[in-house]
Amino acid sequence: MPVFEGAKFTTVGATPGTGATILYTVPGKHAAVVKHLSFSNNNAGAKKISAQYYDSKTASYYYIVQDLSIAANSVVNIINDNNIRLNANDKIVLTAETAGTIAALISVDELFDPNR
């Protein structure tokens, strides 16, 4: 059973490009709970984005959303009262249809675990 010694609340934003862009990486000796993940399209036309969870233990990628179309000048919340639990060195990775048109925002609770 993990022994958590405090929590840190972190929010990170990024504007991904057309290649893989790392939005968030869990620090070593930590676990993290994703509380919020949203995308906003600041373009006049609909744009697509994909988000993946990288499992560092198996070196595998899993789609959270794939080619999600976001309407012009709108915001989409992905988590909606659910959580995504991550382990040390896991990542959230983004790929946008067009660079510089979608902004991403993630909020996580980081939990320090000295036994990791």
Strands (E), 16-116: 21-25, 30-41, 47-55, 60-70, 74-77, 84-86, 91-96, 102-112
In contact, 75 and 38? CB cutoff 8 Å: yes
**Looking at residue 82, what DSSP letter applies?**
-
What domains can you pick out in the chain, each with its CATH number?
A: 7-112 (2.60.120.1330)
Place of tokens 């012009």: 72
Q: Give residue-wise pLDDT tens across range 5-64.
A: 678 899 999 999 999 999 999 999 999 999 999 999 999 999 999 999 999 999 999 999
**Residue 103 dihedral angles phi and psi, to the nearest 5°:** -105, 140
Q: Give residue-wise pLDDT tens across range 57-105.
A: 999 999 999 999 999 999 999 998 889 999 999 999 999 999 999 999 9
